[in-house]
Amino acid sequence: NAGVTQTPKFRVLKTGQSMTLLCAQDMNHEYMYWYRQDPGMGLRLIHYSVGEGTTAKGEVPDGYNVSRLKKQNFLLGLESAAPSQTSVYFCASSSQGPDTQYFGPGTRLTVL
Amino acid sequence: RKEVEQDPGPFNVPEGATVAFNCTYSNSASQSFFWYRQDCRKEPKLLMSVYSSGNEDGRFTAQLNRASQYISLLIRDSKLSDSATYLCVASRGSNYKLTFGKGTLLTVNP
């Protein structure tokens, strides 16, 4: 029973490098979300998707891009990583209603 | 002003104690409210939804006061396993975006 999985679990990047974080869910959920969590800031929404082929900006979208080509996958891209993007990234998915939002285990990203 | 604000904590309580967390939200358009629990270095997990009529789940009781824009969580008979960060969450709009408070760290001591 996988639920929501995230790849990779850890990553260290140098400033200016690019990478893609993958989120996959096997619950046939329509809605998917990317958050970042920083000490003292709480969880903040980066981008979200309300269905396959759709994406929308959240609270802190700058420096990130997303794609939802398949219903089960939601990709978060960093084109040119910056130290300010050092954070823990969580993906979540939900079906109908906010109380069904399930989170993945997170990706710890460090940008040097 | 942040949209969801919580007690900053941390709370340190002995086993068996009763502890209460408070939370306020600034956007009156918020429709749904929740408490999530997050263990150290883990993902958040839904603890319980919060309804205007109040709701209880075992040792946990949640209350919502829409007039005061205030949410609370009461934990009775605290257990060591209750040690975690508790996140107050509000939702509004049809896209079910969640707005999280910064969280309150609870440590239950033997």
In single-letter form, the type of residue at position A107 comes to T
Categorize the per-residue pLDDT at B30 as very low, low, confident or very high, splitting at 50, 70 and 90.
confident
Residues of B in contact with A58 (CB under 8 A): 97
Once rounded to an integer, what is the mean pLDDT over residues A31-44?
92
Categorize the per-residue pLDDT at A99 as very low, low, confident or very high, splitting at 50, 70 and 90.
low
Asked if the Cβ–Cβ distance from A42 to B101 is below 8 Å, we say yes
Categorize the per-residue pLDDT at A108 as very low, low, confident or very high, splitting at 50, 70 and 90.
very high
- Given a cut of 80, whether residue B94 has pLDDT beyond it is no
For residue A24, which of A10, A8, A45, A46 has the smallest C-alpha distance? Answer: A8
Where in chain A does DSSP place strands (E)? 4-7, 10-13, 19-25, 31-38, 42-49, 56-57, 65-67, 73-78, 87-94, 102-103, 107-111
Beta pairing partners, B79: none
Instruction: Give the DSSP per-residue string, B26-83.
Output: S-TT--EEEEEEE-TTS-EEEEEEE-TT-EEETTEEEEEETTTTEEEEEE-S--GGG-
- In the numeric block, which tokens belong to residue B80? 């060591």
- Residue-wise pLDDT tens digits, A52-75: 999 999 999 999 999 999 999 999
Categorize the per-residue pLDDT at A6 as very low, low, confident or very high, splitting at 50, 70 and 90.
very high
- Residue-wise pLDDT tens digits, A9-35: 999 999 999 999 999 999 999 999 999
In single-letter form, the type of residue at position B103 comes to G
Which residue of chain B is at minimal alpha-carbon distance from A39? B102
Residues of A in contact with B42 (CB under 8 A): 105-106
Asked if the Cβ–Cβ distance from B95 to A31 is below 8 Å, we say yes
- In the numeric block, which tokens belong to residue A49? 């998707």
- Residue-wise pLDDT tens digits, B43-87: 999 999 898 888 999 999 999 999 999 999 999 999 999 999 999
